[in-house]
Every structure is written in structure tokens, then in C-alpha cells.
């Protein structure tokens, strides 16, 4: 695929991070860069695009973000980031949403889950090798947590890791691994002590090279028609001891750091895109004097969604402030609240848009790859919204955790 980078070529060199001491100038530079670099026709080009074209476009977009330091601005400076604060991150995501820029969804594990895992638990050698690999070479990561038969009971995983000399030999199966078909590496949980008294114990955390002998990846066709999720089969796969993260049998606690990223920071950008969508929908309805503005039930549904969106943004900002104060710990409960709140809001609002679209909105249409949950293809957005009620922990399980651990309610 020939990736045309902008509607009007420019020779100007953009450097938003050089303006970070002046928030207005920082915003102006981010906005100017987005106006120059985001192709005006990218939605059309990615509608019904081939897998190869989607991957090429994702890699191009990630590289463009990296050129101006906006691929990893939230990472600490010592590990390849810009060490920027919450106010700058809010501006970045507000402007990305405003520009309706592509979502670098193929890199979501690389940008959020991997650093959340390695910052506090990885060795220096692991951070140097793998964070650099993401930043400089655009390496793609996936996550190998879920297994067939385990459902949301992650601790019951059965994939085995047996140490033999300088390697661990892995056998088992993972499922629902997003972008596994394109991944270079995988964050893998495996059981190293099947005799441990508690099922959460005896689990270790590994870095898996997806090109290693014995790794087989099989995409899963979803209701949307996409194959974002994959099964991963592991047949006597060898992982060097150097790629064990943390101590052997201590993987469960480390996995909570990974899941915190999925339940909190990753939703930051999505919430800004959602806010933009709700504002745009309301403006369009007013402009066209849409019938739903005169319907009490529809107005109540929209108002509830809008209020929930405002609450979501406030929760995320509170989480970001906690992380600014304590980068490695943050809140132990806020990411769970955020994940549950976001996923239920997303499902309700996509259903609202689907109802407004009537029967015509339910017709199968080509999908905008890389468009996230705001593609405008209301049937696709509605179906995809269900994924968020499962990923990062099923909402039913997380609500039980909130009730018992955060609120202290009886079992």
C-alpha cells in the first residue's frame, strides 16, 4: 500500500514537546501537526480495507506520532517518553479527538500494557530492550492471559511453564488475544507451580517471542466481521529465563499492574473520543432539528449518557492525578470503576445511536479499520461495544470485586 501522508505536503518541522511550558502554544502545535499530517480521506481509505493495508496504515500512523514525540509522551523520560503531566495529556487527546485522527489500536498493548508491566516489575535489561523496541522499531505486542474454559476466572489458567536449565518450556492455549496475528511479542501468564495451595499462587509472568518455534496463531472471526482477537497455541515453546518478569510464581500480582492499564489509562483517549462524538451528535441534531430531540425517552437516554460521559472524564482525571503523584502505584480501585463505567456507557450509547438509525442503520456495511468505537457504522460500533464488557475482566466479576473489596459488602 502506498501511504499518502497528508492532503497538502508540508516542509514545516513540528515539535509540540518544545512548547510544553506554554499550554496554549502546546495545543496550537499539536493541532497544527494533526492538520498537516492526518490524511483527510483516511476514513474512506480504511473502509473495507485489506488486512495488509490496515497494518501498513497503522505502522505509518505510529511512526508519524513517534516523529513528534506523541507516540509515547506518557512514558517516563528515562525510558523513552516525554514525562508529560495530565494537563498535556488531556490536550493531546482532546486534539486527537477533535481531528478525528486514526486510533493506533494495533499498538494498544505496546503503548499501555507493556510499560505498565515493565516500569514497576521488569528488569533494566527488559525495559531497555523491549520499551526501545516499541519506541524505535514499532514492535507490536499482544496479551496472553485468557484461556478456554477459564472464562473470567483468570486464576484458573492451565497453561504450564516448566523450567529446564536456562529456559522455560511452555505448553497450553490462550484465547481472545487482541492483534495476536500481527504481534512480535506477547505478555504471557503461565502456571509454574501446579501444587500451590491457592490458584492465584504458582503463576509466573513471561515475555513470549511470537516467532518462536511452537507458537501457532489462529484469528477468531467476530460478530463484526473482523478478526481482531486470536487464539494462541503453545507447543513446547522455549522462553529464556531472562524473559521471566519478576520472580517465579509472583505473576499474579504483576498481572494486576497490566490490568490496571486496561481498566484505566487506555480509556483516557477513548473517553475524549466519546465526548467528541456526543457533542457532535448533539450539534448535528440541533442543526437538523432531529426528531429525537422532541422524544422524551430519547432525550432522557441522551442526557443520561452525556452525564455519564462527564462523570467518566472526571474519574479519569482523578486517576491521572493519583498516578502523577505515585507513578507506580496509583489507585487500586479507580481503574476498576472506570472500566465498568466506560463499558456500560459505551454499550448504552451505541445502542442509542443504533435505535436512531432505524432498520437502515442495521444493514451490513464495510467497516472503517482503525476507527475504534466511533466509526459512524452504528451496527458495528454497537456489536463491538460488547467486547469492552468482557476485556480487562468481565463486568460481573469486577462488580463483585468492588462490592466485596472496595465497599466491604458481605459475600
pLDDT category of residue 265 using cuts at 50, 70 and 90: low
pLDDT in tens, 193-226: 999 988 889 999 999 999 999 999 999 988 888 8
Q: Rounded CA gap, 97 and 107, in Å? A: 18
Judge whether 103 and 371 are in contact, CB under 8 Å.
Answer: yes
130-139, 141-150, 315-324: which is most confident: 130-139
Strand, coil or helix: 297: helix
Question: Could you tell me which of 350, 403, 401 has the C-alpha nearest to residue 379?
Answer: 350
Judge whether 140 and 183 are in contact, CB under 8 Å.
Answer: yes
Which residues belong to the active site? 262
Whole-number pLDDT of residue 85: 81
pLDDT in tens, 40-64: 999 899 988 898 999 999 999 999 9
Question: Could you tell me which of 85, 98, 67 has the C-alpha nearest to residue 20?
Answer: 85
pLDDT category of residue 16 using cuts at 50, 70 and 90: very high
Q: Rounded CA gap, 279 and 302, in Å? A: 11
H or E element in which residue 231 lies:
strand 229-240
Reported in sequence order, the residue ranges of 118-158 that DSSP labels E, i.e. its strands, are 141-144
Widest Cα–Cα separation across the chain: 71
Phi, psi at 373, each rounded to 5°: -100, 5
Q: Write down the pTM of the prediction.
A: 0.86
Q: Rounded CA gap, 262 and 393, in Å? A: 9
> Count of CB atoms within 10 A of residue 1's CB?
13
pLDDT of 330 strictly over 60: no
Whole-number pLDDT of residue 7: 47
**∠ CA 102-257-204, rounded to 5°:** 115
Amino acid at each position: 500500500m502506498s501511504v499518502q501522508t497528508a492532503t497538502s505536503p508540508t516542509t514545516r518541522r513540528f515539535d509540540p514537546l518544545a512548547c510544553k511550558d506554554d499550554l496554549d502554544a502546546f495545543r496550537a502545535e499539536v493541532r497544527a501537526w494533526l492538520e498537516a499530517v492526518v490524511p483527510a480521506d483516511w476514513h474512506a481509505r480504511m473502509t473495507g480495507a485489506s488486512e495488509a493495508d490496515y497494518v501498513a496504515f497503522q505502522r505509518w500512523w505510529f511512526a508519524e506520532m513517534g516523529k513528534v514525540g506523541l507516540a509515547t509522551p506518557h512514558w517516563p523520560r528515562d525510558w523513552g517518553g516525554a514525562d508529560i503531566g495530565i494537563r498535556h495529556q488531556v490536550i493531546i487527546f482532546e486534539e486527537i479527538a477533535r481531528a478525528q485522527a486514526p486510533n493506533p489500536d494495533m499498538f494498544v498493548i505496546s503503548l499501555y500494557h507493556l510499560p505498565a508491566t515493565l516500569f514497576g516489575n521488569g528488569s533494566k535489561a527488559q525495559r531497555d530492550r523491549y520499551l526501545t523496541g516499541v519506541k524505535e522499531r514499532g514492535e507490536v505486542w499482544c496479551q496472553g492471559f485468557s484461556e478456554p474454559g477459564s472464562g473470567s476466572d483468570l486464576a484458573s489458567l492451565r497453561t504450564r511453564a516448566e523450567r529446564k536449565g536456562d529456559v522455560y518450556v511452555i505448553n497450553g492455549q490462550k484465547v481472545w488475544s487482541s492483534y495476536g496475528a500481527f504481534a512480535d511479542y506477547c505478555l504471557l501468564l503461565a502456571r509454574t507451580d501446579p501444587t500451590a495451595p491457592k490458584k492465584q499462587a504458582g503463576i509466573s509472568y513471561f515475555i513470549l517471542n511470537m516467532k518462536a518455534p511452537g507458537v501457532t496463531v489462529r484469528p477468531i472471526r467476530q460478530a463484526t466481521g473482523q478478526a481482531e482477537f486470536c487464539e494462541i497455541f503453545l507447543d513446547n515453546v522455549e522462553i529464556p529465563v531472562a524473559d521471566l518478569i519478576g520472580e517465579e510464581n509472583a505473576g499474579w500480582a504483576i498481572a494486576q499492574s497490566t490490568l490496571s492499564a486496561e481498566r484505566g489509562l487506555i480509556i483516557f483517549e477513548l473517553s475524549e473520543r466519546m465526548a467528541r462524538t456526543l457533542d457532535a451528535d448533539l450539534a448535528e441534531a440541533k442543526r437538523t432539528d432531529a426528531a429525537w430531540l422532541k422524544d422524551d425517552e430519547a432525550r432522557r437516554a441522551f442526557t443520561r449518557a452525556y452525564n455519564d460521559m462527564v462523570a467518566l472524564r472526571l474519574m479519569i482525571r482523578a486517576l491521572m492525578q493519583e498516578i502523577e503523584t505515585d507513578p507506580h502505584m496509583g489507585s487500586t480501585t479507580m481503574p476498576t470503576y472506570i472500566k465498568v463505567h466506560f463499558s456500560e456507557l459505551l454499550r448504552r450509547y451505541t445502542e442509542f445511536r443504533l435505535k436512531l438509525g432505524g432498520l437502515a442503520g442495521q444493514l451490513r456495511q464495510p467497516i472503517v479499520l482503525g476507527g475504534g468505537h466511533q466509526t459512524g457504522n452504528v451496527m458495528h460500533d454497537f456489536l463491538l461495544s460488547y467486547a469492552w464488557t468482557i476485556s480487562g475482566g468481565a463486568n460481573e466479576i469486577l462488580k463483585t470485586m468492588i462490592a466485596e473489596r472496595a465497599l466491604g459488602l458481605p459475600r
